[in-house]
Structure 1
């Protein structure tokens, strides 16, 4: 029996064909995120991309990500934290019973303000399956970064930081865009200088202006300023975390972003291990198996 595992996000869609052990047989990726799908068009897009994989009898599909949002195929309400595989599996929504199902996201709350994730919870469960860890801190860098703590195989809670989006805004649409090169490669020394600068505890709104004045007085070349700004933002994010008792963090995401978090956490004396797309497929496989046990 094969599983079609799909991560359907806002701007892109990824899929993998898995065998019963979770091994990836084939993969595909398309710029067909939910924002590109016309109303009522999800079923047609799905069939156009995955009909061949779904053809063998008994094949089923499980979909994570924004396809389960209000703007997606069918809304799959959020599952409240703490939540593990069992809680999430109980909240799976069938699109075509026994054939296609949608996963819910997770919901947490801090000081009366809700926080949510869709898709990252799958990566966390996948990371647990791949590493054998059931407790710890999982960090998922991206446009909206997630910091999640797990205990006993369940996501106890999490917080979202708009670090990636703020970097894009500052580097492309603020006065800083005139003095830095947002596409310049990572300069590790400048990045770590930015991380260290946040230790002055004067806040991002002040420190970010330094990216302009360092250029104004020729203290830092244009090619390094984007790395410095990135360090300021990630350093500010780390400054809000309680890392004193954390010996290791699991990073899940693209190599470019996890590299930066590994550098910043390393400077704070925290060890890291890194996972990529394999965490998504492992998580979807684990959830499909959990759902299968519940219905068998």
Structure 2
């Protein structure tokens, strides 16, 4: 195994890491140049500005790029790899830029004839599998578009996308609810959050439950400072309500703040969980690189 230059290139930011032969992260860097800020043909230059010195110091090292750099708006489109898919399928579908640089494909699956996709999260799931030595289970990756991923036999069998973060932002900023919510979310109010989870579980529909964020304010049943947490509980609760109850711990992968919120919601539901962060991305790219170099 040679060292690896790992690249996580998203819509709004670029992160890179130099990873040693044994999987140890030797150095990390960040750059605000997400794919939407890069002009056509400008991706090689931005990558060089971010970690070109690493690439020049070790010209034989592999460089793997994950995330939205492989989308139609990115560097080069990397076609989706159909599920079920594991390390072998991902490695076989890498989109090579040159002899040392490749883009990791996203994954696709279908539900009732309708396609679903993810791009970037597959690397995090594979990294979590490697870190936890796990080949079965349910993984959730919260965010603007949350992903629930089912793994069996070391391969992603299927997944589903939930626009929870985007719906929260729409309700928070562009609905009638915005008029009674404070300007800033503030710290999480656990009691208000759990009340939102309970309301979502009992209402049967977010379309019905969402209006309670207005009426509780109208009748002074909840302090204004707790309303963003309550609304967050409604949205996340709707997401959890639609999931099958997991028999084994659910692995939550994401930023510490959001991952802990989902872990708290799962605990309230009676489901065990464990959380991972950025380390899942770097381990996933390293594990894919191991297969390619082997």
Cα distance, 1:47 vs structure 2: 1.1
Q: Is the 8 A contact 2:137 2:248 kept in 1?
A: no
Per the alignment, residue 95 of structure 1 pairs with 97
Q: Map 1:212-223 to 2 at 5 A.
A: 212-223=214-225
Partner of 2:273: 272
Equivalent position to 1:234, from 212, 216, 236: 236
Deviation >4 Å, runs of 4+: none
Q: Cα 1:219–1:201, aligned 2, differ >3 Å: closer, same or farther?
A: closer
1:153-209 Cα deviation digits (max 9, x unpaired): 100000000000111111112111121134221001100100011122341111111
Aligned to 1:121: 122
Give the distance between the partners of 2:284 and 2:23, measured in 1 at CA: 10
Gaps of 5+ in 2: none
1:96 counterpart SS class: coil
SS of the residue corresponding to residue 160 of structure 2 reads strand
1:182-193 matches, within 5 Å, as 182-193=184-195
Q: Does 1:178 align with 2:179?
A: yes
1:80 aligns with: 82
For the residues of structure 2 that align with 1:69 and 1:283, how far apart are their CA atoms?
19
Counterpart position of 1:54: 55
Residue 254 (str. 1) matches residue 242 (str. 2): no
CA apart distance, 1:268: 1.3
**In the alignment, which of 57, 64, 69 is matched to residue 67 of structure 1?**
69
Q: Identify the residue that residue 289 of structure 2 maps to in structure 1.
A: 288
Corresponding position of 1:197 = 199
Match of 2:280, SS?
A: helix
Please state whether the residue corresponding to 1:183 is helix, strand or coil: coil
Deviation at 1:257, TM superposition (A): 0.7
Matched, 1:34 2:18: no
Equivalent position SS for 1:76: coil
The CA deviation at 1:215 is 0.7
Q: What's the offset of the Cα at 1:111?
A: 1.1
CA RMSD of aligned residues (A): 0.9
Distance 2:172 2:187 in 1: 14
Of the structure 1 ranges 176-185 and 40-49, higher mean CA displacement relative to structure 2 is found in 176-185
* CA shift for structure 1 position 291: 1.2
Q: Please state how far the C-alpha of 1:246 moved relative to its aligned partner.
A: 2.1
- Report what 1:150 is aligned to: 151
Q: Secondary structure at the match of 2:109?
A: strand
State the secondary structure of the residue aligned to 2:229. Answer: helix
Report the CA distance between 1:217 and its aligned residue.
0.9
For 1:44 and 1:194, the matched residues in 2 are separated by 47
C-alpha separation in 1, matches of 2:104 and 2:60:
19
**3-state SS in 2 of match to 1:149:** strand
